[in-house]
Amino acid sequence: MPKSREIHLVARPEGLPGEEDFKVVETVVPDASDGEVLVENHYMSVDPAMRPRLTDGYELNEPMLGSALGRVVQSRADGFAVGDFVLNRFGFREYFVAGPETLTKVEPVEGLPLTVHMHALGGTGFTAYGGLLKIGQLKPEDKVFVSTAAGAVGSVAAQIAKIKGCWVVGSTGSEEKARWLADEVGLDAVINYRETPIRRGLRGAATEGIDVYFDNVGGDHLDAALASMNTLGRVAVCGMISGYNEPGARTTVRNLANIIYGRITLRGFTAADFLEMRPAFVGEMTEWLRDGRVRYKETVFEGIDAAPRALIGLFQGLNVGKMLVKLAG
Amino acid sequence: MPKSREIHLVARPEGLPGEEDFKVVETVVPDASDGEVLVENHYMSVDPAMRPRLTDGYELNEPMLGSALGRVVQSRADGFAVGDFVLNRFGFREYFVAGPETLTKVEPVEGLPLTVHMHALGGTGFTAYGGLLKIGQLKPEDKVFVSTAAGAVGSVAAQIAKIKGCWVVGSTGSEEKARWLADEVGLDAVINYRETPIRRGLRGAATEGIDVYFDNVGGDHLDAALASMNTLGRVAVCGMISGYNEPGARTTVRNLANIIYGRITLRGFTAADFLEMRPAFVGEMTEWLRDGRVRYKETVFEGIDAAPRALIGLFQGLNVGKMLVKLAG
């Protein structure tokens, strides 16, 4: 029965969350009962989409939920052995007991760290893949705009678009991230929106307009995209982080009337929209990662105490690539 | 060579247009040359979509353009005889000379006035038909919300949805129009947004949510719809009149992030998106009009002098159904 620390939400933040909205709670996790396993989490994920759940979704004074990668330390369930690594939804805690139906066993891919299953080869990458190919109806030679292009989803989306033969412009919020996108990831154009207003930057860069916008931001980024969209353009709406710290998670958009004469489609989506693409995604992405055609970055905070700071940091642009918290291992 | 009066745009309005932005100009129209016809317009159309063109589109000090129904009074073109009625794009003037490529001959439908070709059986009705069926992917038993449901496009869209077996709520801005929609058109629910805020009204009426929103308004109406949309809902965006008198024709929307977890599609469209549906539309709509299953209203201003007033009146809610100006006949 290991001692475990876990993060509770203790207050519902208005605006940007603060560390005082969270509390580290020490608890004792029971041994696995029949049919269960005891898991020690090694890494947990923090995601922008967690912000709306702080307002409405997560229970107060309960351990929060989120994606994590853990190692089985005790097994009383068929098919699970001590040492197996499992993806699970029980982030924000060091240990937990659960049944097999909540766990996905992870097989190591040679030459890649296990954590790729938490981003490029996991839900994050799959969201980018299906969002671009199915929701955005990506075609070769499309002009593509990806916002938060140095983020976990954005960086994968931008690289998939490049691999599929598109011209790609990305936006990001620091010179360090802009350099990574231009020099290592190889985007055709990069806009640092803290230096150049996004609308002007996009208009200057996308001289042939935009056919597909992969939106993670909403607000001014979406307005800028709408001002540059080509006829019959598609906007795949993955997230709208610009509004996540506003009351009701509201983001303000002013140029939406542009979609009428442009005959433009905006489509909000989750991975539920393209579950059938999962095998194709795993096949292609494994190859791209091995070949180094898809690059990734991880920003890793250490220890469960740092989880609130990591989550808050997403809204301060502290991450390049996937933001993770290392809990053990 | 008849004398003709025509409407020129003489100033680009900011906000709601005023009569001083327009001028009635008297001119002399030449006789038809070889291959041309001389047409006397009997009715002309005013449409909300003309507003953005006052800012950017129409030339200053030139006769404005718009849909009209006229009678051939002189023909030097094959296939056109004196007395033929023709739809044309040369509204805002009493007479004009043009070649056959710009004219569509109109055949009377027994029991219906010729002016139905300017609304329910014309581009207005076709926009409603294709917008609902193709863009909105309407299915029987869908819950449908139509804004400006007593307007030219809205009233047809709402009735098509009823005919196709849907539950329909419409919004409008006066008690007179609300009564027409409830008592004669037979909508399932009607919201007078001047009496009940649209969001509260919609939430109260659409207890099973909204599957398809046919948007003519944008702004607060779209926000209200987004707050009531069911998962996988569709928004067919035909117009956003709420913003047409704002700088840059901008309308402000705040609830757009709702489309993400709702997996909702917004699609701007014009009739160019479904030209292949034209024969099906003409067949069905002719039957529905003859059977009285689709009802319509016309609001008719008299004389070309009244055309600016009629156009401005669209934004003051002066029309029930299609707003026309009668020029002759």
DSSP letter string over B177-195? HHHIIIIII--SEEEETTT
A3-119+296-326 under CATH 2.10.260.10, yes or no: no
Instruction: Examine the predicted complex and report whether its ipTM is higher than 0.95.
Output: no
- Looking at residue B308, what is its pLDDT? 98
- Taking the domain A123-275+283-288, which CATH number applies? 3.40.50.720
Q: Across all residues in chain B, what is the average pLDDT?
A: 96
Could you tell me the two tokens for B233? 């809902």
Which residue in B has a C-alpha nearest to residue A258's C-alpha? B268
pTM, entire model: 0.93
Using CB atoms within 10 Å of the CB of residue B148, give its burial: 0 to 12 exposed, 13 to 18 middle, 19+ buried.
buried
Q: Do B269 and A255 touch (CB under 8 A)?
A: no
Q: Which residues of B touch A127 (CB under 8 A)?
A: none
Q: What is the DSSP string of A291-303?
A: TTSS---EEEEES
| pLDDT tens for the 329 residues of chain A, in order | 899 999 999 999 999 999 999 999 999 999 999 999 999 999 999 999 999 999 999 999 999 999 999 999 999 999 999 999 999 999 999 999 999 999 999 999 999 999 999 999 999 999 999 999 999 999 999 999 999 999 999 999 999 999 999 999 999 999 999 999 999 999 999 999 999 999 999 999 999 999 999 999 999 999 999 999 999 999 999 999 999 888 888 899 999 999 999 999 999 999 999 999 999 999 999 999 999 999 999 999 999 999 999 999 999 999 999 999 999 98
Q: Do B260 and A237 touch (CB under 8 A)?
A: yes
Measured CA to CA, the distance from residue B8 to residue B19 in angstroms comes to: 11
Using CB atoms within 10 Å of the CB of residue B55, give its burial: 0 to 12 exposed, 13 to 18 middle, 19+ buried.
middle
Could you tell me the two tokens for B143? 């819950």
Using the Cα atoms of residue A127, residue A133, residue A134 and residue A138 in order, give the sign of their dihedral: positive
Angle at B186 between CA B185 and CA B188, to 5 degrees: 135
Q: Which residues of B touch A237 (CB under 8 A)?
A: 256, 259-260
Q: Do A263 and B272 touch (CB under 8 A)?
A: yes
Q: Do A268 and B254 touch (CB under 8 A)?
A: no
Q: Smallest Cβ distance to B256: which of A251, A263, A273?
A: A251
The answer to whether B272 faces chain A, any CB pair under 8 Å, is: yes
Q: Smallest Cβ distance to B251: which of A240, A256, A268?
A: A256
How many angstroms away from the CA of A12 is the closest CA of chain B? 20
Using the Cα atoms of residue A272, residue A274, residue A279 and residue A281 in order, give the sign of their dihedral: negative
How many angstroms away from the CA of A257 is the closest CA of chain B? 6
Secondary structure of residue B206 in the 3-state scheme: coil
Measured CA to CA, the distance from residue B199 to residue B225 in angstroms comes to: 7
- Looking at residue A88, what is its pLDDT? 98
Angle at B294 between CA B293 and CA B298, to 5 degrees: 145
Q: Where are the beta strands (DSSP E) in A181-272?
A: 189-192, 210-215, 229-237, 265-268
The segment(s) of chain B belonging to CATH 3.40.50.720 are 124-274
- Looking at residue B247, what is its pLDDT? 83
The answer to whether A266 faces chain B, any CB pair under 8 Å, is: yes
Report whether A244 contacts B243 (CB < 8 A): no
- Looking at residue A45, what is its pLDDT? 97
Measured CA distances, B124 to A23, A322, B85, B101, B268 (Å)? 59, 50, 19, 21, 16
- Looking at residue B15, what is its pLDDT? 93
Using the Cα atoms of residue A229, residue A231, residue A237 and residue A238 in order, give the sign of their dihedral: negative
Q: Which of A300, A321, A298 is nearest to A310 (CA)?
A: A300
Q: Do A263 and B243 touch (CB under 8 A)?
A: no
Q: What is the DSSP string of A181-197?
A: IIIII--SEEEETTTS-
Amino acid letter for position B42: H
* Fold topology of B124-274: Rossmann fold (3.40.50)
Could you tell me the two tokens for B148? 């400006």
pLDDT tens per residue, range B207-254 = 999 999 999 999 999 999 999 999 999 999 999 999 988 888 889 999
- Looking at residue B275, what is its pLDDT? 97
The segment(s) of chain A belonging to CATH 3.90.180.10 are 3-119+296-326
Mutate to test the interface with A, among B56, B215, B266 (most CBs of A within 10 A): B266
Mutate to test the interface with A, among B56, B235, B253 (most CBs of A within 10 A): B253
- Looking at residue B1, what is its pLDDT? 83
- Looking at residue B53, what is its pLDDT? 94
The answer to whether B124 faces chain A, any CB pair under 8 Å, is: no
Q: Which of A158, A203, A202, A199 is nearest to A177 (CA)?
A: A158
**Across-strand partners of B253?**
A253
Measured CA to CA, the distance from residue B149 to residue B158 in angstroms comes to: 6
Could you tell me the two tokens for B139? 């299915």
The segment(s) of chain A belonging to CATH 3.40.50.720 are 123-275+283-288
Amino acid letter for position A252: T
Measured CA distances, B93 to A120, B66, B128 (Å)? 62, 10, 27
Low-confidence ranges of chain B (pLDDT < 70): none
